[in-house]
Amino acid sequence: MYQSISDTERPRDEFAASDHILALGAHPDDIDMFHGEYIRRARAVGAAITQAVATAGEETTEDHRIWLWRILKRHFIAHGGREQEANKAAKRWGIPPQNVHHLRFPDGFANSDNSSSHYIDALTLSFIGLMRAKRVSKVVTAGAHGYDQHPDHVAVHLAAARAVKFLRLTYNQRITLFSLTAHNASSLQLPVNRHAKLWALIAHCSQFAGYRVFGRFILPKHTKQYLARYSAVLHQEAYVMQ
């Protein structure tokens, strides 16, 4: 059994019901993994949440449930399997379907030497459109170093920072960018310590196999091992006006 423990993830931010927060992730499970506690606190005061996922995670998908996964993976991705999981997780947070956006950039786009800058430019434009349309007041990303140095995580933050800077300077839109900072930069551990966050994460059942039984979680060994790789994080305001 896996039970929720004390709150160790403390976003340095105050929420208001008037806030509209844009949570950004490179892959379908990133938002719940990195920003789950942030979303929970924002939803608790009635703030609106919009999610935008850059890729379908086709290069990072693993499924621990299926022996013939290598054969079935292409079919699962082609039919939006991981997007459906993200939609299910968003529903568990109480985020309406119209506020969940799948941008469908190719997974690993930031690793492309020839076209990564074009993808980042296109991603920036997509973020600008969402921030304007939703009248977003706060944006959360994995940070300038992607928290775990993943190139796609870094690229999403870069595109978000550019979009926020553009909207501040061009439209004078009051918008703040928050990003993740580890307590210990050399440590990549994030205990999943909130019931709501675990409930959202196991919606991504191709990545995080697990079950909730009478309010408690039953997680297989590989899911526990994956979650144990990650520690408490802070959401700190990023400087984007340089």
HEC letters along the chain: CECCCCCCCCCCCCCCCCCEEEEEECCCCHHHHHHHHHHHHHHHCCCEEEEEEEECCCCCCCCCCCCCHHHHHHHHHHCCHHHHHHHHHHHHHCCCHHHEEEEEECCCHHHCCCCHHHHHHHHHHHHHHHHHHHCCCEEEECCCCCCCCCHHHHHHHHHHHHHHHHHHHHHCCCCEEEEEEECCCCCCCCCCCCHHHHHHHCCCCCCCCCEEECCEEECCHHHHHHHCCCCCEEEEECCCCC
Cα–Cα distance, 61 to 28 (Å, whole number): 10
- The structural domains of the chain, with segments of one domain joined by +, span 20-182+232-237
Q: Are strands 233-237 and 176-182 parallel, antiparallel or unpaired?
A: antiparallel
Q: Which pLDDT belongs to residue 5? A: 32
Which residues, in sequence order, are bridge partners of residue 23?
A: 51, 140
- In angstroms, the Cα distances linking 147 to 29, 124, 129, 174 are 15, 20, 25, 25
- In angstroms, the Cα distances linking 63 to 55, 57, 206, 207 are 17, 12, 4, 6
What is the CB neighbour count within 10 angstroms for residue 3? Answer: 10
Q: Which pLDDT belongs to residue 73? A: 60
Residue 115, phi then psi, degrees to nearest 5:
-125, 0
Contact 157, 147 (CB under 8 A): no
Class of domain 20-182+232-237: alpha beta
Q: Which pLDDT belongs to residue 215? A: 79
pLDDT tens by residue, the chain, 242 residues = 333 333 444 555 678 999 999 999 999 999 998 888 889 889 999 999 999 999 988 776 565 544 445 556 665 665 668 899 999 999 999 999 999 999 999 888 887 666 688 899 999 999 999 999 999 999 999 888 887 788 999 999 999 999 999 999 999 999 999 988 755 444 444 444 568 888 898 898 888 888 888 878 888 887 777 776 655 466 777 766 54
What is the CB neighbour count within 10 angstroms for residue 122? Answer: 15
